[in-house]
Amino acid sequence: MKISVITATFNSGKSVRDTMESVLRQTHKDIEYLVIDGGSTDDTMDIVCGYEPLFEGRMCYISERDRGIYDAMNKGIAMATGDVVGILNSDDFYTSSDVLEQVANVLTDTNLDAVYGDVHYVNEGDLEHCVRYYSSRLFHRSWMRFGFMPAHPSFYCRRSIYEQFGTFNLSYKVAADFENLLRLIFVHHIRTRYIAKDFVTMRTGGASSSGLRSHRQIMHDHLRALQQNGVYSNLLFLALRYPYKICEIALTKIEHI
């Protein structure tokens, strides 16, 4: 099973080595690695070009101006030739070397359209210390009315599903991933399975986790996504996920004392 892994980059020189090295360490070797750069002005593309030979023909890249990270992801999906597509952001890296192997093993079941698992967050200064563990174990499609979704960096989907139901809607500033998963999982009922595994280590400070203004935008985007897709919700429903998130962070701290 061929898996296309897409990494969107923009001035990612400080972190993209970790991302690419974690792809190279994967035990599943039938991969296509696509780096979609937004016209970086730092050393990102020098690093990417330096790693290309190590992929032995399994890597493609482009570097051009785009309309943001979701535009880059859409470009990657359009370029992908794999049976399955996943996203690995340039601030993130695979937590272990057998992530893609497990994805491939589970998706040999042709009755499944996608899989997802867990991720955890770290601070830039200490990549070994977990500051939040985001588990998708309890996720159910009905929870999407409250703004919940499976951990998107752990979501691996058959390319045919994107071709059938569409990719990321660029009108959403920070929550096009939520709208896409809402459309796939809630509206179109794609067949998914949870894998009890920590897929990805994520650095804190991404576009969807940076301050009060970002969270206001998330609330706005989530509510619009739900309304646009004909799913009933309201601001009170969406606010309920924040106590859950606080508990999740608190439990992570207790478990790592």
- Domain parsing of the chain, residue ranges: 3-255
**62: alpha, beta or left? (left if phi > 0; alpha if psi -120 to 50):** beta
Question: What fold, for 3-255?
Answer: Spore Coat Polysaccharide Biosynthesis Protein SpsA; Chain A (3.90.550)
Question: What one-character DSSP code corresponds to residue 114?
Answer: E
pLDDT in tens, 147-158: 999 999 999 999
**205: alpha, beta or left? (left if phi > 0; alpha if psi -120 to 50):** left
Residue 29: phi and psi, rounded to 5, are -100, -10
Model-wide pTM > 0.85: yes
pLDDT in tens, 196-229: 999 999 999 754 445 566 778 889 899 999 999 9
Given a contact cutoff of 8 angstroms between Cβ atoms, the answer to whether 2 and 104 are in contact is: no
pLDDT in tens, 89-112: 999 999 999 999 999 999 999 999
CA quadruple 175, 119, 95, 39: dihedral, nearest 10: 10
Residue 83: phi and psi, rounded to 5, are -70, -30
- By C-alpha distance, which of 92, 114, 91 is closest to 3? 114
Please state, in angstroms and rounded to a whole number, the distance separating the CA atoms of residues 130 and 122: 5
Q: How far apart are the first and last CA of the chain?
A: 40
Given a contact cutoff of 8 angstroms between Cβ atoms, the answer to whether 159 and 80 are in contact is: yes
